[in-house]
Amino acid sequence: MDRLTAMQVFVQVADRGSLTQAAEHLAMSTTMVSRYLAAAEHWFGARLLHRTTRRVSLTDAGAAALPACRQLLDLALETQHIAAEGSREPSGLLRITTPGSFADAQLTTALVDFQRQHPQVEVMLSATDKAADLVSERVDLAVRITNTLDPTVIARPLAQCRSVLCASPAYLAAHGSPQTAEALATHRCVAHAFGIGRQYR
């Protein structure tokens, strides 16, 4: 028999002092109440109640077991509420940080669709090339353009990001055109912060 139900029956009988009243409250027969009480006493290994034709009272073992049963039932109810909360529609504040170029090209439209599907979610978007401290800044989701992932975070690839390296005719006339990727190291370059340390092939 279900132990939680047996504890619930025991608590109700103890509170009401009557098997009949407990049975009415729990919407079960007095026979079933008696069976659950017998099962509870078997599991506890002691008689929990003194029963006469007129009244029901706790034994010493029953008095000791009653607070523990109440705590376990409260914990079971709390666990049920937590599980129910997890199955609800997403809600609350979602903090996202992403490079500005990615936000403009990819994320803005996707966020509009996301909030249409989940209207209870408020999105705080930080479009910056500065790497955020996810813990101290309480960031929920960070999009990064990088070849080197931080091993301390949980990450998954979203897409490939292709870049084009450009130079003005005046610069090439003054400094020459690089012929290999290695030659880029000798040239001046204005790049996004997320490009630092990137490997060129």
How high is the mean pLDDT of the chain? 84
pLDDT class of 197 with cuts at 50, 70, 90: very low
Within 10 angstroms of residue 46's Cβ, the number of other Cβ atoms is 14
**CA angle at 126 for the pair 120 and 127, rounded to the nearest 5°:** 125
Q: Residues of the chain with pLDDT > 70: what percent?
A: 91
Within 10 angstroms of residue 56's Cβ, the number of other Cβ atoms is 20
Does residue 181 have a pLDDT over 60?
yes
Candidates 1.10.10.60, 3.40.190.10, 3.90.45.10, 3.40.50.2000; CATH matching 92-142: 3.40.190.10
Instruction: Give me the mean pLDDT over the 57-62 stretch.
Output: 93
- Rounded Cα–Cα distance for residues 101 and 112 (Å): 17
Does residue 198 have a pLDDT over 60?
no
**pLDDT tens figures, 15-58:** 999 999 999 999 999 999 999 999 999 999 999 999 877 788 99
Structure tokens at 136: 């101290």
Instruction: Give me the mean pLDDT over the 135-142 stretch.
Output: 85
Check if 3-86 and 92-142 are the same fold.
no
**pLDDT tens figures, 93-133:** 999 998 887 887 778 888 889 989 989 899 998 888 787 78
Are 96 and 142 a contacting pair, CB within 8 Å? yes
| Angle separating helix axes 3-16 and 60-86, nearest 10 degrees | 120
Does residue 200 have a pLDDT over 70?
no
Comparing 82 with 78, the larger pLDDT belongs to 78
pLDDT of residue 84: 62
The domains of the chain are located at 3-86, 92-142, 163-201
pLDDT of residue 87: 58
Instruction: Tell me the pairing of strands 56-58 and 49-51.
Output: antiparallel
pLDDT of residue 59: 94
DSSP, collapsed to helix, strand or coil, labels residue 88 as: coil
Q: What is the pTM of this model?
A: 0.46
pLDDT class of 70 with cuts at 50, 70, 90: very high
Q: Which CATH class is domain 3-86?
A: mainly alpha
Task: Name 43's Cβ contacts closer than 8 Å, sequence gap at least 6.
Answer: 3, 6
